[in-house]
Amino acid sequence: MSLFSGLSRPLKAAGLALVGVAIVAAVIGGVTLLNSGDKNDTAQPSTSATPPPGGAPSGSVPPPSPSPSPSPSAPPSSSSAAPPPSSPAAPPPSQGGQPGDQQASAKWVTVRVYNNSTIHGLAATAADDFRGSGWNVAEVSNYSAGIIPVTTAYYRPGTDEETAAKALAAEFGLRAEARFDGIKESSPGVIVIVTNNYKTKASGGKN
């Protein structure tokens, strides 16, 4: 039996119209609800890059702070940079060594040989002996201002001549003395005045 069977025709027509309106309203309401649900599902939170006032957005990582520049290293201390102390200079060779050492260190001193004997050429012979042993003979001459008792090597005290004269005398068996007044102003060097007692190397032996 129909819902509108007991009604008159005009009422039936009005009832059908109301039912149709209700159905249309229901359809429109359902579509509206579906559309609003889809919009809610697809909506995304705002991700604006502009930071809110008062600081960086929560959850963002702050930029790393620049590392402090290394401080300049301290200069080395003066004690480490100072050069090591130099070793003390070696002392000069002692003048009191062996005769051989004295001869080797004094043979550069000039030697002058004068003849005071009656033997012709004795000064030249003595000079050859001295040169053969490495001595620096610079002059050969005669001495006639007096008589010298024995062959003697004369020197100026306090100079290299003293060491040289004593070394020469020790090697050839001579006497070594300081210069006397007659030869004090003579040319520098050891002055050897040979007399008759001088024995040459060829004669075999010292004076």
Task: Give residue limits of the domains in the chain.
Answer: 7-37, 102-194
Residue 151 has pLDDT above 90, yes or no: yes
Distances, alpha carbon 173 to alpha carbons 19, 49, 70, 105, 206, in Å:
167, 116, 82, 19, 5
Question: 5: part of which helix (H) or strand (E)?
Answer: none
- pLDDT at 67 (0 to 100): 52
Q: Output the average pLDDT for the chain.
A: 74
- pLDDT at 28 (0 to 100): 79
Distance CA 14, CA 161 (A): 164
Residues 136, 142, 146, 150, Cα dihedral to 10°:
50
- pLDDT at 57 (0 to 100): 47
Residue 207 has pLDDT above 70, yes or no: no
Q: Given pLDDT bands bounded at 50, 70 and 90, which one contains residue 25?
A: confident
Distance CA 147, CA 144 (A): 7
Percent of residues in the chain assigned helix, strand, coil, to nearest 5: 35, 15, 50
Task: From 184, 176, 191, 198, select the one nearest 110 (Cα to Cα).
Answer: 191
Distance CA 14, CA 10 (A): 6
- pLDDT at 92 (0 to 100): 42
User: 168-180 pLDDT, tens per residue?
Assistant: 999 999 999 999 9
Residue 86 has pLDDT above 80, yes or no: no
The residues with which 190 forms a beta bridge, in sequence order, are: 111
Q: What is the pTM assigned to this prediction?
A: 0.51
Higher pLDDT, 104 or 28: 28
Residue 139 has pLDDT above 80, yes or no: yes
Confirm if 141 and 165 have CB atoms less than 8 A apart: no
- pLDDT at 19 (0 to 100): 74
Work out the average pLDDT over 119-125. Answer: 96
How many CB atoms sit inside 10 A of residue 155's CB?
23
Q: Given pLDDT bands bounded at 50, 70 and 90, which one contains residue 94?
A: very low
Range from 64-68, 114-118, 140-144, 202-206 carrying the lowest mean pLDDT: 64-68
- pLDDT at 21 (0 to 100): 73
Regarding the domain delimited by 102-194, which CATH topology (the fold level of the hierarchy) does it fall under? Alpha-Beta Plaits (3.30.70)
Range from 25-29, 102-106, 111-115 carrying the lowest mean pLDDT: 102-106
Residue 56 has pLDDT above 60, yes or no: no
